[in-house]
Amino acid sequence: MNAISSSTITHHHLPVACYRPGTNQLSLIRARQEVVVQPQPQEKATSRAARLANSLSNLLHLHLETPLQKNLQYTDWNFLDQGNRTSPITSPREDISTKWREIHGSCDWENLMDPLHPWLRREIVKYGEFAQATYDAFDFDSFSEYCGSCRYNRHKLFDKLGLTKNGYMVSKYIYAMSHIDVPSWLERSHLVDTWSKDSNWMGYVAVSDDEESRRIGRRDIVVAWRGTVAPSEWFEDIQGKLEPIGDGDGDVKVEHGFLNIYTSKSESTRYNKSSASEQVMKEVRRLVSLYKQNGEEVSLTITGHSLGGALALLNAYEAAKALPDLPISVISFGAPRVGNTAFRDELHQMGVKALRVVVKQDIVPKMPGFVLNEGLQKFNEITGTLEWVYTHVGAELKLDVHASPYLKRGGFNLPGVHSLETYLHLADGFRGTNLTFRSDARRDIALVNKACGMLANELRIPECWYQLDNKGLVRNAYGRWVKPNREPEHIPSPSREVSLHASFVEMHGHYQGNQPLLSV
């Protein structure tokens, strides 16, 4: 739909106003009520497979559009194989240009999350896919000479991952390091000679193109941070020690390991002579200046999953300090607590809007501070402000794995529950706390099993299917299986010719419309 009409809403569905003069508030409007599929009377199912087949059959009927398709019969055995071919995998992308501030969190998403507004849902999924890209493109093969790098050149990243549909272009890669001595069993690579012994590709900066900027009402700068993959990062994550951040108020403290990854640098390294913090802020400042000079409205949206969500908050804190007039939002997935109450309060005072998407069964958002957390605030009169207590920041959208008819029941699959693809599946299907799973959810269900095994076995989707063919080995001209050479454009340490070309572009510049071709 291109617009949300209040004529489709009955008076008892209107939420409380989040008033801002001069606009038609999105908070006062709700999308047409989505159909709740009521199962038809049937004989009692005798097995889990039968129950799942019945559920899938009911859900599928709303996807079938033509008379021929309506006559097709699907079971759990062929639902994904044939069913997904009968409906597109992308949702409509409406013009939200007049409502972007509400969707960006100007009213802290009040009355937009339960029930979840379709426009907000699609933006959450969009930013979640940007975060997922940091996993899909990361080379975590410990036998690779490029272990810890991105598999693709930044100009090809979205094209390789099928994300060009979102209308953004990557302008900068971010690298981070850890200044720690790790045991030998935590070493990242089996190889002595790798592209970098100290640095990991940690994410990227992207910016909306002209068409997407018109749709969303502003030029949107996105920073996507990768979650934990490298063992050394896990070693950092579990330290659980608060320390002051930056040169601000000494009472503002954040977890030591997260801050170390964000701020560490060394002159002896190739990719971290400047820290991840310095890299990202230099690029954000440059882009903000560039587009504001063109008279455009600019926003900053920072996203990440797990550790990436923690880094996103640190990034937002620094950006709000440096660019106080810039609208800044954080949309995180499965993120842990990052700092203390003073950190939360200062982010709030600076106007940073944070939306935390969490799965009820995921333990990562409960860490650190599983015991010593914001729950102790109820005892403030006795204890006073506890600067060593961890506290979450912002609004929470809580999902539940039991809401989806496609996910396994029973057992407790910690990696699967924490997987970002599980989060995106649940977000795409979420309508409201007391509402059934969305029958017309569009994201491909098979994506859930990319790196885990959360899908019901009856769907017959292999676990952890997202991997390189033959573990990355190819047969050479002599018939031997070998590690392939990367194409020069995808090598993190570019050849002299590529470097010279990049230098020429950086010196002379090249523009396509308002979109600069930026430095490598």
Q: Is the distance from CB of 419 to CB of 451 less than 8 angstroms?
A: yes
To the query of whether residue 97 is one of the catalytic residues in this protein, the response is no
Task: Spot the catalytic one: 277, 306, 404, 419.
Answer: 306
The length of the chain, given as a count of residues: 520
CB 192 within 8 A of CB 181: no
Which 3 state secondary structure label does DSSP give 201? strand
Q: Residue 52 in contact with residue 45, Cβ under 8 Å?
A: no
| Pick from 82, 123, 86: nearest CA to 102 | 123
Question: CA quadruple 451, 453, 455, 457: dihedral positive or negative?
Answer: positive
Distances (CA, A) of 221 to 127, 302, 351: 11, 8, 17
Report the alpha-carbon angle 88-94-100, nearest 5: 135
DSSP result, 393-411: -SEEEEE-GGG-TTB--SS
216 touches 122 (CB < 8 A): no
Whether 343 contacts 393, CB under 8 Å:
yes
CA 216 to chain centre: 18
Decide if 430 contacts 402 (C-beta within 8 A). no
User: Could you give the strand order of the β-sheet that contains 168-177, starting from the edge strand earlier in sequence?
Assistant: 168-177, 199-208, 219-225, 298-305, 328-333, 353-359, 395-399
Q: How far is CA 80 from CA 60, 236, 444, 460, 463, in A?
A: 10, 40, 9, 9, 15
CB distance 391 to 337 below 8 Å: yes
Radius of gyration in angstroms for the set of CA atoms belonging to the chain, rounded to a whole number: 24
Catalytic residue among 63, 418, 425, 490: 418
Q: Which of 76, 136, 139, 362 is catalytic?
A: 362
- Distance (Å, whole) CA 407 – CA 421: 12
Is residue 418 annotated as a catalytic residue, yes or no?
yes
**β-strand pairing of 253-255 with 242-244:** antiparallel
The first and second tokens of residue 49, run together, are: 């497979």
Q: Find the distance separating the first CA and the last CA of the chain, reported in whole Å.
A: 39
Active site residue 7: no
Return the structure tokens found at 451: 């790196």
Q: Nearest to residue 312, comparing CAs of 320, 321, 302?
A: 302
| Residues 223 and 312: beta-carbon distance below 8 Å | yes
Which of the 8 DSSP states describes residue 192? S
Question: How many angstroms separate the CA atoms of 516 and 246, rounded?
Answer: 32
Residue 324, preceding bond cis, omega within 30 degrees? no
Distance between CA atoms of 454 and 124, rounded to whole angstroms? 21
- The set of catalytic residues is 306, 362, 418
